[in-house]
Structure 1
């Protein structure tokens, strides 16, 4: 009887070891996806939201009268109005990479071909420091001139807010993006845009 019990114990241990080995062999599988393909695992803000909202809001901004008025007021200029993306505040309930959203706004502005864009923040400060270094270190014919920057005519700023409604395993998360374009010379707001997106997440009633 004791021998049979020992054999049974060995069999169980061996079976358990085989099961753990099979589970371990399963591992984690990683697949490459097209960057333009949306994979929504949760109702959180994602890269697709950032790209979609930025493109739609910039398209709307460029249809407003401010652009035509600026061109009519400056017929002698051979350049487009210059926009500076000043900043976007995240006031939502979750962490949102606002720098990524601001980069999407910049790409949409540049891709439109209707406005020029100037750098801001740390990038602008680093470029200015490089120009100061060139004044002393570079040859006169190759050094970038000081006080020759292109000044911005308008600044783009805004915020991201969110609202969550939840009941019985169903959750609706709403994101609201507000952007404003302001004339630097007059502080006049020449465009105000708003975009809302909603996401529904449902928890399955059956769990394995």
Structure 2
């Protein structure tokens, strides 16, 4: 009797462990604009909010009103993003941040944007290929690019302070806008983010 009692109990425990393991992972869709911070690392929300805030600040400086006054027939200056250097302690998807900067500028309606870097080189190669492969009526003309009036570049730095399971991670984003004709810096922006993370003392 004792032996027959333990047999179904063992099966019941094994089944409970199996079902608990199978039900341990769940996936659900969330709003992309909602921040879900699992760590203190740089995330997509940081990229979006920093880009929007810094571009708003850039477009509030006097350089753009001076441009509009001096160029009434072309009130929208053309900006080229030269690049953003990641000098932080972690891997950051800089291309995503640059895309957020571009999107914020285009959304403002106050500036035009031209491609640069690898994208510009790829477009030029395609245009050159069309000279030989496409019909004259459909080939994109060479030497008809819109020149950039201003160049945007910057860097991302980070600082980490940690002691006794507590950590403060600070990010500093610096951007600068340069007049392509005069090489004069017309805007310099800086944004700082600070995140605090504390490990739980509970141990299971």
Q: Same fold (TM over 0.5)?
A: yes
Q: What pairs up with 1:15-94 in 2 under 5 angstroms?
A: 15-75=12-72, 77-78=73-74, 80-94=76-90
- Residue number in structure 1 paired with 2:193: 197
TM-score, normalised with respect to structure 1: 0.90
- Residue number in structure 1 paired with 2:137: 141
- Consecutive unaligned residues in structure 2, runs of 5 or more: none
Residue number among 78, 95, 99 corresponding to 2:95 in the alignment: 99
Compared CA separation, residues 79 and 67, structure 1 to 2 (3 A): closer
2:120 is the counterpart of 1:127? no
CA RMSD of aligned residues (A): 1.8
- Consecutive unaligned residues in structure 1, runs of 5 or more: none
In 2, the alpha carbon distance for the partners of 1:207 and 1:8 equals 35
> Once structures 1 and 2 are overlaid, which stretch shifts more, 16-25 or 119-128?
16-25
Q: How far has the Cα of 1:9 moved from its partner?
A: 7.3
2:88 is the counterpart of 1:116? no
In 2, the alpha carbon distance for the partners of 1:151 and 1:30 equals 47
In 2, the alpha carbon distance for the partners of 1:24 and 1:57 equals 46
In 2, the alpha carbon distance for the partners of 1:121 and 1:27 equals 45
Q: How far has the Cα of 1:143 moved from its partner?
A: 1.5
Query: Number of matched residues?
Result: 204
2:163 is the counterpart of 1:167? yes
2:25 is the counterpart of 1:14? no
In 2, the alpha carbon distance for the partners of 1:24 and 1:56 equals 44
In 1, the alpha carbon distance for the partners of 2:74 and 2:198 equals 54
Report if aligned partners of 2:79, 2:151 keep a CA contact under 8 Å in 1: yes
Q: How far has the Cα of 1:139 moved from its partner?
A: 2.1
